[in-house]
Structure 1
Amino acid sequence: MSTSVKEFSKVWWTEVYNRIIGAVVILDESAAECLHWDGGLYNLLNGGAVAVNRLSPFQSCKPEQKKVVFITQTTQIQLRTISDILRTCDFTHCILISTVSLDVVYLELNDGLKNANDVVASGKAGMEAVKMLEKMLVGWMKEKQPITEVVYIPIFTISPTNNVFLMPPYQYVYPKFDKKLITSAPTLDLYTLNSDERSEVRRLASALNSMMQSMNMREDIYHIGPFSSLIAGILENSPVYVSRRKMCTNPVSLIFVDRTLDLCGVTSHSTESVLDKVMAVLPRFPGHCTDVAVDMSPLCEAKVVTHPNDMQLSPGCLYHADDEASVQTYDHMINKSQKEVMFDLHNKLSKLDVQMSPGLKTLLKVTPQSVEKIITASKGNYDVISKHLGILQQSLGVVQALKSPKGVQLELLSNLEKQVLQSIAASRESTSILHQMRIIIRSRKERKLSIENLLALLIHIYSLSDSEVIFNKQHEENLEQSLIMAVLEEFKTLFDDRERNYTPKDCEMKAKEIMCYLKEISQMRKPIQRYHSVLKPCDAGTGHEYRGVLQQLVDDLVNTDRPDLVDLQHRNDGIKDLLRTGLNILTSKRKSSKHPLDNPTVLLFVVGGVTAEECKQLHRSVITSGVDTVVLIGSTKFVTPVEAMRDVFNL
């Protein structure tokens, strides 16, 4: 069995390429991002596509173009867009590739139908969805007898490294219950969520099921956190997934963890990972949630005024699937130190065939300036640029991030985090950290700190402190007043609807909402036992350090002593296990006989995003433990502190 998610993705992209010969290919943004990580636009053009466009109701095609292939998530909105396109074009052949399971599409097309779930359970939903969609396509096309095809191809994963995979189409899935971090429902099921959240969870569970099926995996399911329990419950109990599991032969332990149990890791500005630093500084590549936009003007003659909004010059990016040297460097940006990444970039750039380029030197230190000097020697030399475009884009991205004024802000925020950690560890109930934060928020402009980063720091503080720390009530009230003023002054930075004028009353309500979220964050780990605290004494014996829930969990997983994983609930521990224990359950605490390392592969999936730094540390723990188990780390996306803050506060 191949445990490579990258291979899983490649196999299914091959199925896509087999269908695009002579066709206009129209993709949604999620499919386009996944394509980028498989090789990009040229994979489609070299595979026979006559044109490639984004999914838009304003899309038009030439009269001679008769075949179209849509690659979409098949949402109701996307189907309306497809309808608009087909009604205005002269296609005679239409293929709809759904990147979401047709079972889920059937449920959404028949929302409210009483027997829809029964049709899914019977295994007929996929075929019924095909019939419905093909009928729609025929009705929208001008041709009287068009050729139509509807097929499900699971395109939803990207693989930054061999042991890490992300699912960008599900970037908005987050551990919330109708926009609340803590559910008030006494029991949890899918209907605890609102309809949009319910649909997203179904789609994510279905995607993971398809991945397991393609990789012939039979999973034992574990989870920590209420939202993860919902996803685990769908995978465990859905008749279609139960039937699939009976057919698969390769055992794997699938562990779901709620991101909200530990928000310290994703709101920390203290990172050694170069990728995290670059993502925190540079804007996102248009339409992507994982790659960044690199200003390419230092290599070109074009005069760019407002990158990335100036569209006369296309932005560069970090990942280049068809360039082995670039793939290796991207891996280094996650798993190596900044010093090692800079030496790697310098060595690769020094080999470029540029007359003005400095030769390979023995350096004690490589600075952004020394790397930039080699890059600028390539300016205007388009033969060299075209041959080494991948490494040049990566080098420019790293240089621009490390030279950015935002780097100084990140360093200041990192120092503040260290002060916060020691203050909370030392004083507990008597901590005055909120009073200090109030002063920092009021003086943020003088310190050149953004309100977004300071809100992320507040999440970091409350998640770090957990329910053991009781903040001074007066300090919290004063902090709330400072937040009201900050929101009023910077609503254009914080909110998407920037044109709206926010009143003082609106800002007061938003500040109160933020304070409610912060108090909920401090209670998130209250129900768990072993990983309740993320503040641990340093090995050196002085002070404390942050050790996240994910880190503690993985350390316990690979511990040869196999400590009792009391917080890791095993979905398969059902009534059969209770019956096996007999009357002993009345007199003894039942312990699961299963352990995740009983299987040769462990798949740890974090719902709500991870950082590159976390992936590096978790992978390092597995490697140094010496266990033979393959541990894959999966999540919905890579996140920065500001993005994590926006996920939590609904901004």
Structure 2
Amino acid sequence: MAKSVKEFGKAWWTEVYNRIIGAAVFIDDYSSECLHWDGGLFNLLNNGAVAVKSLSPFEICDKNHHKAVFITQTTHTQLQTIKEIISKSELMHCILISCASLDVVYLELNKDKDVLDVVSSGRAPAEATKQLEGMLSDWIGKQPNAVEVVHIPIFTISPTNVIFITPPYHNINLKFNNKLLPETTSIDLYSLTNDERSMLRRLAGSLNSMFDSMNYKEDVYYMGHYSSLLGGVLENSPVCTARRKNCSIAVSLIIVDRTLDLCGVTSHSAESVLDKMMGVLPKFPGQCNELAVNMSPLCAATVYNHPDDIQLSPGCLFHGNDESCLQTYDYMINKSQKEVMFDLYNKLSKIDVQKSPGPKTLLKVTPQSVEKIINASKGNYDVITKHIGILQQALGVVQMLKSPKRAQMDLLMSLEKQVLENLAASRESTSVLHQLGHLIKTRKDRGMSLDNLLALLVHVYSLAGNEVVFSSQHEEQLHQILTVAIFEDHKSVFRDGRMVTPEECETISRNALELLKEVSQMRKQLPRYNSVLKPCESGIGHEYRGVLQQLVDDLVNTERPDIPDLVHKNEGIKDLLRSGLNILTSKKSKMKHPMDNQTVIIFVIGGITADECKQLHRSVITSGIDNNVLIGSTKFVTPIEAMRDVLML
């Protein structure tokens, strides 16, 4: 039984490694990302894989390889890819590792059939296994053959002991028919499209598998419309119901919609070094939570960098098999920039061939002092090989600090502070939109990208909530300005390279403005957390205090204040029973509280920042409670990614 999410991931990767001896392994991008955070490619090769390839219809097994293992999400498209690979190969033994729960896969395989009896009786996983094994056997086409289908829940990564992320669900879209707010409050799964419904069921199935491995029996709480749907599936799905009967450790699962508060994920005022890096460095190819580090400073050859030509394999930040690097990564989330720099310098000084001053004799560690040690290792491949992890992390931090994008980030930080004070001072009407419109028009003179200014707009509307009424005249002016700006910068706004007409830009701008208005109304139904603009404790000025932060502060408060915004999934029927009993006994039964359970999991659908994780964890630690609080989310998110998720760009 796994005692932590990290142990859960490692235990199931061991199950994978037990099946790959002598096999060619085909792995999809999401599973590859999870593998990277477990230790990487050599974990497969060192455990017996004869080849490792991407799950692609353009790949094929060598003729002398007769066993293949497919590590996949088992979508319809991926099954077709597996069929193509098998048809072009000489395979006799195939193992399909489904990272998605087989009861959900069964629904997708039989989406046009009446399978209610099979699902409700709990036979769906067994039927899916039988169906998929039949498909594999047919695709091999030769007798005898050996096929196996097994569910192994590979879907989590654990950056630290208290944080977990779910890469396969990074693109979950919290929308209802392209709206952030559903048409009616009586929503169910059929408020979503088929694809959205499948994705939500897959997430619920994965969480169910994790809870099963950890012997968890959850009490579900939620905030937000989308979270209520996920909570409903976890509460009512036959496999989840069956699992809870057999599990004994009570935990509280709190599910929160990111859309209730988009300020935190669209802010550039990050203290966390990791967030600063995520805002500046490119993503590692094929991954959504790892960053790419330019390795040319360590290379003895001359490298000419071109934006469209990656000449060197990029470095990365997370190194799962190096304890020293794991500590530094934790520091990048939880410590100050100064502490991260001293940590890096201290570790680099032990490998410094030029013997730079020791960290104790330095008053300040600068990017240049770190870079000097890195440059001294250039071309020395014995040193580089031995210390490759910390060198990559140090290079990443230096590249972030020296990036020309840092000036733009600093400007956006100051703009956010001005906006916050302006909105706090004038709750009825404001000229903030007029100022932002002027910024968009003059963005090129200031060296600012439209993407970042659109993220700032999402930040402003979420910050304002329903407390600030924007002038309709200013909103119309903003619409006109956005139309022109989107047309002028369409190549950077639409990364798929599509061309747009002025009329299309006008429609896109209008839709964006409608979505921004919805952003401002997301907290309207929350009686307690409807405002994130709070007076500073000093009594001077205001500060942003996020919904997640307010929630955690209330959870760890020893006085246990009422949290009406947090809905308990079973509360409806319990309230009816409770009211009936009260008539007879005149005693008020005690309401259940999330902190009644020793373990509490806060899961944010739609992304979280390292800075938020740091602040939430700090609140738990300083409160003195002894509960084990885990923070989960679908991804680490940057301001631009959060903006694109909301505005559908």
- Aligned equivalents of 2:306 and 2:157: distance in 1? 27
Match in the other structure for 1:648: 646
SS at match of 2:34: helix
**Distance in 1, Cα, partners of 2:79 & 2:583:** 53
Provide the residue aligned with 1:86 in structure 2. 86
Q: Quote how far apart the aligned CAs of 1:197 are.
A: 0.4
CA distance in 2, matches of 1:313, 1:302: 11
SS of 1:107's equivalent in the other structure is: helix
Distance 1:416 1:290 in 2: 27
Q: Secondary structure at the match of 2:180?
A: coil
* CA apart distance, 1:302: 3.4
> RMSD in angstroms over aligned alpha carbons?
1.6
Q: How does 1:11-50 map to 2 (within 5 A)?
A: 11-50=11-50
For the structure 1 residues 174 and 422, does the alpha-carbon distance in structure 2 shift closer, same or farther, using more than 3 Å as the test? same
Residues 590, 424 of structure 1: CA spacing in aligned structure 2 closer, same or farther, 3 A cutoff? farther
Structure-2 change in CA distance of 1:357 and 1:453 (3 Å): same
* Partner SS for 1:374: helix
**Worse-matched range after superposition: 430-439 or 608-617:** 430-439
2:466 counterpart SS class = helix
What residue identity is the alignment partner of 2:424?
A
**Kept in 2: contact 1:221–1:253 (CA 8 A):** yes
Asked if the contact 2:346/2:358 (under 8 Å) is kept, the reply is no
Separation in 1 of the partners of 2:12 and 2:587?
46
CA contact (8 A) 1:329 1:344 kept: yes
Counterpart residue type for residue 419 of structure 1: Q
Task: Give, in angstroms, the shift of residue 514 of structure 1.
Answer: 0.5
Residue 268 of structure 1 contacts residue 641 of structure 1 at CA under 8 Å; is this kept in 2? yes
CA distance in structure 2 between the partners assigned to 1:579 and 1:307 by the alignment: 67
Match for residue 149 of structure 1? 148
Alpha-carbon distance in 2 for matches of 1:591, 1:297: 66
Query: In the TM superposition, what is the alpha-carbon distance from 1:231 to its structure 2 partner?
Result: 0.3
SS at 1:507's partner residue?
Answer: helix
Measure the CA separation in 2 of the matches of 1:303 and 1:449.
Answer: 31
Deviation at 1:592, TM superposition (A): 6.9
Residue in 1 that maps onto 2:556: 558
Mapping of residues 320-335 of structure 1, within 5 Å:
320-335=319-334
Match of 1:412 in 2: 411
Do 2:349 and 2:355's aligned partners in 1 also have CA atoms closer than 8 Å?
no
Distance 1:359 1:539, change over 3 A: closer
In structure 1, the residue matched to 2:532 is 534
In structure 1, the partner of 2:517 is 519
Contact 1:295–1:307 (Cα < 8 Å) also in 2:
no
Query: Per the alignment, do residues 572 and 454 of structure 1 end up closer, same or farther by CA in structure 2, a change over 3 Å counting?
Result: same
Tell me by how many angstroms 1:144 deviates.
Answer: 2.6
- Report the TM-score when normalising by structure 2: 0.98
In the alignment, is residue 64 of structure 1 matched against residue 57 of structure 2?
no
1:475 aligns with 2:484: no
CA deviation string 1:221-249 (max 9, x = no partner)? 00000100000001111122111101100
Match of residue 188 from structure 1: 187
For residues 560-579 of structure 1, the aligned pairs below 5 Å read: 560-579=558-577
Q: SS where residue 52 of structure 2 aligns?
A: strand
Aligned residue pairs, count? 648
Structure 1 residue 328: Cα displacement:
0.3
AA of the residue aligned to 1:529: P
Conservation of the 8 A alpha-carbon contact between 1:375 and 1:392: yes
Separation in 1 of the partners of 2:2 and 2:103?
Answer: 26
Aligned counterpart, 2:503: 505
Equivalence for 2:286 = 287
Question: Structure 2: how far apart are the matches of 1:233 and 1:387?
Answer: 50
The offset of 1:61, in angstroms, is: 2.1
Contact 2:283 / 2:290 at 8 angstroms: preserved in 1?
Answer: yes
Superposition deviation, residue 576 in structure 1: 3.9
Cα gap change, 1:360 to 1:555, in 2 (>3 Å): closer
Equivalent residue number for residue 395 of structure 2: 396
CA displacement, residues 265-293 of structure 1 (integer Å, 9 cap, x when unaligned) = 00000011000000110110000000001
Tell me the SS of whatever aligns to 2:204: helix
> How far 1:118 sits from its partner (Å)?
2.3
What is the CA–CA distance in structure 2 between the aligned matches of 1:218 and 1:195, rounded to whole Å?
A: 29
Partner Cα separation in structure 1 for residue 413 and residue 52 of structure 2: 43
Q: Cα deviation per residue 1:166-203 (whole Å; 9 max; x = unaligned)?
A: 00000011321122101103411100000110000000
Structure 1 residue 306: Cα displacement: 3.2
* 1:352-501 alignment, distance < 5 Å: 352=351, 354-355=353-354, 359-360=358-359, 362-498=361-497, 500-501=498-499
Q: State the alpha-carbon separation in 2 of the partners of residues 585 and 48 from structure 1.
A: 67
Does structure 2 conserve the Cα–Cα contact (< 8 Å) formed by 1:556 and 1:563? yes
Output the CA distance in 2 between the equivalents of 1:616 and 1:123.
40
> By how many angstroms is 1:573 displaced?
1.4
Change in CA separation of 1:355 and 1:402 when aligned onto 2, cut-off 3 Å: closer
Amino acid at match of 1:249: S
* Pairing of 1:283-362 with structure 2 (within 5 A): 283-306=282-305, 309-352=308-351, 354-355=353-354, 359-360=358-359, 362=361
Distance across 2 between alignment mates of 1:507 and 1:475: 19
**Which amino acid is the alignment partner of residue 223 of structure 1?**
Y
In 1, are the aligned partners of 2:218 and 2:251 still within 8 Å (CA)?
Answer: yes
3-state SS of paired residue (1:429)? coil
**1:254 and 1:434 mapped to 2: Cα distance?**
39
Shift of 1:3: 4.1
- Counterpart of 2:176 in structure 1 is 177
User: Please, which moves more after superposition, 352-361 or 252-261?
Assistant: 352-361
Which of 575, 593, 603 does residue 605 from structure 1 map onto?
603
Residue 495 of structure 1 deviates from its aligned partner by 1.1
Q: 1:353 to 1:426 in 2, by over 3 A?
A: closer
Query: Structure 1's 464 and 75: CA in aligned 2 closer, same or farther, altered over 3 A?
Result: same
**Distance change in 2, residues 1:76/1:634 (3 Å):** same
| Percent of paired sites with the same residue | 65
- C-alpha displacement of 1:577: 3.7
Quote the Cα distance in structure 1 between the aligned partners of 2:589 and 2:500: 54
1:104 is matched with 104
Paired residues of 1:606 and 1:634 also in contact (CA < 8 A): yes
| Residue type at the aligned position of 1:93 | H
Aligned amino acid, residue 616 of structure 1: K
Shift of 1:474: 0.8
Tell me the amino acid that sits aligned with residue 104 of structure 2.
Answer: V
Q: Distance in 2 between matches of 1:178 and 1:99?
A: 28
- 8 Å contact from structure 1 (residues 356, 377) kept in 2: no
Cα distance in 1, alignment partners of residues 142 and 381 from structure 2: 46
Q: Distance in 1 between matches of 2:27 and 2:633?
A: 23
Residue 5 of structure 1 corresponds to 5
Query: Alignment partner of 2:270: what SS?
Result: coil
**How far, CA to CA, are the matches of 1:5 and 1:408 in structure 2?**
38
Runs of 5+ unmatched residues, structure 1:
none
TM-score (ref. length: structure 1): 0.97
CA distance in 2, matches of 1:317, 1:309: 19
- Cα deviation per residue 1:389-430 (whole Å; 9 max; x = unaligned)? 000000001110111010010000000000000000001212
Q: Name the CA shift for 1:298/1:90 in 2 (closer, same or farther; >3 Å).
A: same
1:627 Cα deviation from its structure 2 partner: 0.2
Relative to 1, partners in 2 of residues 1:156 and 1:307: Cα closer, same or farther, differing over 3 Å?
farther
Distance 1:618 1:298 in 2: 37
Q: Which moved more, 1:372-381 or 1:589-598?
A: 589-598
Asked if the contact 1:293–1:308 (Cα under 8 Å) also holds between the matched residues in 2, the reply is no
Letter matched to residue 285 of structure 1: F
Offset at residue 575 of structure 1 (A) = 1.8
Alignment check: 8 A CA contact 1:301 1:380 kept? yes
Contact 1:304–1:310 at 8 Å: present in 2 too? no
Q: Which whole-Å CA distance do the structure 2 matches of 1:361 and 1:220 have between them? A: 50
**Helix, strand or coil: the match of 2:178?**
coil
Match of 2:612 among 604, 609, 614: 614
Corresponding residue SS for 1:235:
helix
Supply the distance in 2 between the matched residues of 1:590 and 1:472 (Cα, whole angstroms).
48
